[in-house]
Amino acid sequence: MARKARILATLGPASDAPEIVEAMVAAGADGFRLNFSHGTHDEKSGEIGIVRALEGKVGRYIPIIGDLQGPTVRLGDFQPVRISRGSRIVLTRDGGEGIPVPSDEFFRIVDVGDVIAFEGGRTSARVVEKSGGSVAAEALMEGILAPRKTVAVRGKEYDLPSPTEKDMDDLRFIVEKGLEYVALSFVRTRDDVKRLRDALSDLGSDAWIMAKVETIPGVENVDSIAEEADAVLVARGDLGAKFPLEDMPFIQRRIVDAAGAHGRPSIVATQLLDSMMENPIPTRSEVVDVFTAVRDGADAVLLTGETAAGRHPVESVEWASRIIERSEEGYSPARGVGDVGKGASIYDLFALGVVELAESMGAKIVAYSRGGNTARRIARYRPSTDTYVFTADEGAARRIAILRGINPAGITGNVDLEGLAGEAARRGIAKEGDILVLVRGMLKETTDLVRVKVL
């Protein structure tokens, strides 16, 4: 049985060579993320070129996600520093006699007694003194402070605009390069998503927005964020810096459930196979973590440091694929049916009927989705049967490639249902004797036409 949940991998210094990218695709990577918090546009352009060239070679549609830095605070530039528990750390606005944190907002909100989390909580310290643009803190654990890593104040949020000026500069580059997804960091409300959508519209882009839920208000507003966005990402790094770690399983499930209730794909990210930054095999607990993400209902898992900067990027993808395949054995995911007016439209429920019809007949689903909405509706109901979706263009085909259980079938014109059956036969998707459930929408953004055909 083919794997249904998808694997996304982050490109970086450890994985941006053509042969490594190709090996990751062979190992099971379904798409790639570019992190705009690091690197230059020239470097990103090279990575995009590698992926696009690889598509033709392997005959697959490979989506690329442009991940905006968002309104965050990061350490400045300095030589990495190793700290020990109890050691004193000095953070300064200008970096004069300490580690630079070039942000007025950080010094505005931080107070004595606050816990500062660096790099998503890999290292933390408690503030013991504050004076203007300088903060002294006591390290709570051993670790390394490295330049350009995130700085969060546990239980507090920065009041910064979204998208930022840097985001807009990166967004123009993303649109120019035609990337399929834009990941918006530190989403707080649906208005953040709306602003990005307006910006994409002004730039003439139909890219889908992936809302990264990683703030306290983001979790509180997750239902409205999921309704507004095109996909939702559980960004566990910064969530772990804002919430008690023991709350993370509940928060992850809450975000995935909210995405499912609104028919949006969900992606779980950060530290899934973290030990593989150094080791060629994952820990037992990491295997359980990936297994749990799939059983929680995620459409995809996203490898971050494991593939961007780790020593074993290809092996990380291989292990993710093995774990997902095992987790899907004998598993029937919840369908999150919902009610009309509560996350499911009449077209969504029509798609549910299509899935149930196909499963009851042992049929394959063959659909046409102009921009990806029909594919997303079908994926919402987790079909157990083989599902193939034709689209109008490469951008749409790539967008739907991260949807659980959806196989992009190719590019074709706005054909009728009989034409879909012919395309399926011509491309080897279906053979004589197969039962096909053919589906498409009559009008833009609808899913309302179905036919059963035996080849």
Nearby residues of 89 by Cβ (< 8 Å), 6 or more positions away: 83, 98, 99, 125, 136, 137, 138, 139, 145
pTM beyond 0.75: the answer is: yes
Which own/partner contact pairs does 198-205 have at CB distance under 8 Å and 24+ positions apart? 199/163, 199/168, 199/171, 200/171, 200/175, 203/171, 203/172, 203/175, 204/175, 205/174, 205/175
Provide Rg for the chain, Cα atoms.
23
Q: What is the pLDDT of residue 238?
A: 87
Task: Give the C-alpha separation, 178 to 257, whole Å.
Answer: 30
- Report, at the CATH architecture level, how domain 81-153 is classified: Beta Barrel (2.40)
Domain 339-454 has CATH 3.40.1380.20: yes
Residue 185, phi then psi, degrees to nearest 5: -85, 150
Q: What is the pLDDT of residue 339?
A: 53
Nearby residues of 3 by Cβ (< 8 Å), 6 or more positions away: 28, 321, 324, 325, 328
Tokens of 378: 């079908």
Tens of pLDDT, residue by residue over 154-194, are 988 898 888 889 999 999 999 999 999 999 999 999 999 99
Nearest CA-CA partner of 385 in 358, 351, 420, 413: 358
- Measured torsion, CA atoms of residues 129, 134, 138, 142, in degrees rounded to the nearest 10: 170
Task: Give the C-alpha separation, 29 to 7, whole Å.
Answer: 5
Residue 118 in contact with residue 150, Cβ under 8 Å? yes
Tens of pLDDT, residue by residue over 422-447, are 999 999 999 999 999 999 986 777 77
Q: Write the CA distances from 126 to 85, 114, 115, integer angstroms.
A: 11, 6, 4
Instruction: Give the start-to-end residue ranges of the domains of the chain.
Output: 6-71+161-327, 81-153, 339-454
Q: What is the pLDDT of residue 352?
A: 92
Tracing tokens 């009728």 back to the chain, one arrives at 416
Class of domain 6-71+161-327: alpha beta
Give, for all 455 residues of the chain, the pLDDT tens digit.
589 999 999 999 999 999 999 999 999 999 999 999 989 999 999 999 999 999 999 999 999 999 999 988 999 999 999 999 999 999 998 867 889 999 999 999 999 999 999 988 889 999 999 988 899 999 999 999 999 888 999 988 898 888 889 999 999 999 999 999 999 999 999 999 999 999 999 999 999 999 999 999 999 999 999 999 999 999 998 898 888 889 999 999 999 999 999 999 999 999 999 999 999 999 999 999 999 999 999 999 999 999 999 999 999 999 999 999 999 998 887 776 555 545 678 899 899 999 999 999 999 999 999 999 999 999 999 999 999 999 989 999 999 999 999 999 999 887 788 889 999 999 999 999 999 999 998 677 777 789 999 98
Tokens of 216: 């306290």
